[in-house]
C-alpha cells in the first residue's frame, strides 16, 4: 500500500484531529502517503475530489494538531447513496485514479452504514468517533437478539436480561465521548449552584440522540435525577419525585438525554418528525416539553417566592459545546491509537473492518479490529448502541452500580495534568486580546489540491 485517503464524516467531535494524527503517524512509519479528503463524503462526491496531502515526505503537516478540537478536513452529513451503483462506481473510479489504495472513514454508525456499498468495490475501514458513544455492541451476540427492524423497535431496547459483562462490550467507548461528558459534568455543576441559590428546578438537556450515554456520564455532576432515552418517562412518578426533592432541598437538577420518550414511546423532543440528510431524527425541545408538563402539574404553592411554577423551572441545552474544543487526555490518546489501528487494518487487507477500543481487567484499554458485518443486524443495518438496562436504576432515575463500573475505566484518569495546565495557561492568555482567531481553514486552504474532474470522469 502506497497511498491512502482519509475523511471525517457525520457530526464532529473534539477528538477527530487526534484520530487523523494517529493515522498519519502510523502511515509515516509504514511509508504510506495520506490524502485527507475534505468535507467527509461530500468531498468524495465532488468530481474534483478536493484533498490535502497530510504527510508530504512522511512528515505530519503542522496544521494537524491532535490537541485541537474538530477536524481540519471538515465534515458533513452527506452520505453515499448505496442504492445507486453508478454513483458508487463513479466514486470508486475517482479515488482509484488518484492512486489511492484504501480509504479510512472516521465516523459513527451512520458513516458505517454509508460506507458499506463502497467497501464492496474498494478497500475501506472505519475508525470510530461519536460523542454519543453509540457505535458498538453491548455484547458480541447482540445483533442476533434484534428481532425487528430498527424503526419498529420498542423504546426500551435493552429491557431484562443479565447484568452486562463489561469486558465483553464491543468498542467500549468512542473518541469524543469523554470530552463531551467532561463538558456536561461541568455544566451540571455550574447550573447546580445557581439553581440552588435561586430555589429553581433546572432541566439540563444533553445530546446523544436515542442513546443515553452522555446523560449517564453526566452522573459525575451529581444531578438529582437522570432520564435516559432507553427508559420511557413515567411522568406521574417523575413529577412526584421532583416535588419531593424540591420540598426537601428547595431546588432540583434534572439531566435528560435529548431523545427521551414519554410512557407511550413518543419522543418528547420531536416537535416535528424532521430528519437530517443522513436520515437521523433531529432532536429538539425535550427539556422544554418536560418543563411545560412539570409546570402544569406541580402546585404553584410549592415554589414560594416565584411568580409561577413556569418561572421557577428553567431549561438549559448544553448543545454544541459538547462537540467542540480541546479533547481531554482519554480522547486524545485512544483516538490517536484507533487512527493508527485503522491504518494497520487497511495495511493487513482487512477491508470492511472497524477499529475498536476494548477494555478488560487487568489489561485495561487495547485496540482491536472487527468485521463491520459483526455490527450489523439481520437487515444489514448498524444500529446505535443503547445504554444497557443494568447500567441504570429506572426506579430512582440514577446510574446503577453496574453503570458506575462501566464509567470508571473511562473517566478515572480521563483528564490529564496537561489539560488542567492548558486551561490555566491558555484561557486568559493576554495575547488573545491583541490578536483575532486564526482559522485553520485559512491555513489549510493553501494545501488543498483538486483532481482534474474531466480526467477523473472519463
Residues that bind ligand F6P (CB under 6 A): 11, 130-132, 207-209, 258, 276, 283, 323
Compute the least distance from the CB of residue 128 to ligand F6P, in Å. 12
In terms of Cβ atoms closer than 10 Å to its own Cβ (0-12, 13-18, 19+), residue 98 is middle
> At closest approach, how far in Å is the CB of 13 from ligand F6P?
8
- 92: cis peptide before it, omega within 30°? no
- The CB-of-301 to ligand F6P minimum distance in angstroms stands at 37
**Which residue number, 208 or 217, has a Cβ lying nearer to ligand F6P?**
208
Which three three-digit cell numbers place residue 405? 463500573
C-alpha grid cell, residue 414:
480521563
Comparing every residue's Cβ against ligand F6P, the nearest one is: 207
Beta bridge partners of 398: 393
- Give the residue carrying C-alpha cell 489539560: 419
Q: State which residue, 175 or 208, has the beta carbon closest to ligand F6P.
A: 208
| Min separation Cβ 16 and ligand F6P, Å | 12
Residue 11: which of 76, 95, 105 has the closest Cα?
76
Residue 383 CB contacts under 8 Å (≥ 6 apart), including other chains: 109, 143, 146, 150, 377
Helix (H) or strand (E) holding 390: none
**With respect to ligand F6P, which residue has the nearer C-beta, 258 or 377?**
258
Q: At closest approach, how far in Å is the CB of 256 from ligand F6P?
A: 13
Minimum CB separation from ligand F6P for residue 150, in Å? Answer: 16
Nearer Cβ to ligand F6P (123/208): 208
What is the CA angle 78-156-380, rounded to 5?
40
- Whole-angstrom distance between the N-terminal and C-terminal Cα of the chain? 25
User: Shortest approach of ligand F6P to residue 323 CB, angstroms?
Assistant: 5
Query: Quick check: 53 and 35 in contact, CB under 8 A?
Result: yes
Q: Least CB distance from residue 276 to ligand F6P, whole Å?
A: 6
Burial class for 245, CB neighbours closer than 10 Å (0-12, 13-18, 19+): middle
Nearer to ligand F6P, 139 or 281 (CB): 281
For the stretch 258-281, what's the b/e string if a residue is b when 16 or more beta carbons lie within 10 angstroms of its beta carbon?
Answer: bbbbbeeeebbbbeeeeeeebebb
User: Phi then psi for 291, rounded to 5 degrees?
Assistant: -55, -50
Nearer to ligand F6P, 280 or 300 (CB): 280
**383/94 Cα distance (integer angstroms):** 30
d(CA 37, CA 164): 39
Closest approach, Cβ 139 to ligand F6P, in A, equals 23
Nearer to ligand F6P, 185 or 343 (CB): 185
| Minimum CB distance to ligand F6P smaller for 25 or for 278 | 278
Nearer to ligand F6P, 263 or 276 (CB): 276
134 versus 224: smaller Cβ distance to ligand F6P: 134
- Shortest approach of ligand F6P to residue 446 CB, angstroms? 28
Q: In a 10 Å sphere around its CB, with 0-12 CB exposed, 13-18 middle and 19+ buried, how is residue 74 labelled? A: buried
Residues contacting residue 42 through CB under 8 Å, at least 6 positions apart: 76, 78
Amino acid at each position: 500500500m502506497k497511498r491512502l485517503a482519509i475523511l471525517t464524516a457525520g457530526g464532529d467531535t473534539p477528538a477527530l484531529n487526534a484520530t487523523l494524527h494517529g493515522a498519519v503517524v502510523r502511515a509515516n512509519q509504514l511509508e504510506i502517503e495520506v490524502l485527507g479528503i475534505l468535507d467527509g463524503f461530500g468531498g468524495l462526491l465532488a468530481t474534483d475530489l478536493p484533498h490535502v496531502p497530510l504527510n508530504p515526505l512522511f512528515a505530519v503537516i503542522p496544521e494537524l494538531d491532535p490537541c485541537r478540537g474538530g477536524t481540519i478536513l471538515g465534515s458533513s452529513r452527506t452520505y453515499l447513496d448505496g442504492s445507486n451503483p453508478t454513483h458508487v462506481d463513479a466514486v470508486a473510479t475517482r479515488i482509484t485514479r488518484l492512486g489511492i489504495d484504501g480509504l479510512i472513514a472516521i465516523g459513527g454508525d451512520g458513516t458505517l452504514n454509508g460506507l458499506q456499498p463502497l467497501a464492496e468495490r474498494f478497500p475501506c475501514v472505519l475508525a470510530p468517533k461519536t460523542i454519543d458513544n453509540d457505535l458498538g455492541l453491548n455484547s458480541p451476540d447482540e445483533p442476533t437478539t434484534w428481532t425487528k427492524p430498527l424503526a419498529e423497535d420498542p423504546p426500551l431496547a435493552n429491557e431484562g436480561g443479565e447484568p452486562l459483562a463489561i469486558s465483553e462490550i464491543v468498542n467500549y467507548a468512542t473518541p469524543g465521548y469523554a470530552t463531551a461528558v467532561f463538558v456536561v459534568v461541568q455544566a451540571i455543576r455550574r447550573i447546580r449552584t445557581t439553581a440552588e441559590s435561586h430555589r429553581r428546578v433546572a432541566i439540563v438537556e444533553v445530546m446523544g440522540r436515542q442513546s443515553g450515554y452522555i446523560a449517564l456520564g453526566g452522573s459525575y455532576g451529581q444531578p438529582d435525577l437522570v432520564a435516559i432515552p432507553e427508559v420511557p418517562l413515567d411522568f406521574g412518578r417523575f413529577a412526584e419525585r421532583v416535588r419531593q426533592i424540591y420540598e426537601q432541598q428547595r431546588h432540583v437538577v434534572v439531566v435528560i438525554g435529548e431523545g427521551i420518550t414519554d410512557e407511550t414511546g413518543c419522543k418528547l423532543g420531536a416537535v416535528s418528525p424532521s430528519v437530517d440528510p443522513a436520515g437521523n431524527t433531529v432532536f429538539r425541545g425535550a427539556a422544554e416539553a418536560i418543563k411545560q408538563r412539570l409546570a402544569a402539574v406541580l402546585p404553584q404553592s410549592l415554589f414560594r417566592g416565584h411568580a409561577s411554577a413556569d418561572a421557577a423551572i428553567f431549561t438549559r441545552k448544553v448543545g454544541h459545546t459538547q462537540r467542540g474544543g480541546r479533547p481531554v487526555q482519554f480522547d486524545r490518546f485512544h483516538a490517536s491509537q484507533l487512527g493508527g489501528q485503522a491504518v494497520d487494518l487497511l495495511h493487513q487487507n482487512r477491508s470492511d473492518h472497524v477499529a475498536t477500543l476494548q477494555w478488560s481487567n487487568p489489561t485495561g484499554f487495547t485496540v482491536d479490529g472487527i468485521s463491520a458485518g459483526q455490527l450489523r443486524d439481520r437487515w444489514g443495518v448498524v444500529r446505535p448502541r443503547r445504554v444497557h438496562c443494568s447500567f441504570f436504576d429506572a426506579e430512582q432515575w440514577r446510574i446503577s452500580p453496574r453503570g458506575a463500573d462501566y464509567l470508571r475505566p473511562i473517566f478515572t484518569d480521563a483528564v490529564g495534568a496537561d489539560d488542567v495546565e492548558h486551561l490555566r495557561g491558555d484561557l486568559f492568555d493576554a495575547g488573545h486580546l491583541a490578536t483575532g482567531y486564526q482559522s485553520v481553514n485559512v491555513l489549510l486552504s493553501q494545501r488543498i489540491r483538486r483532481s482534474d474532474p474531466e480526467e477523473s470522469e472519463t
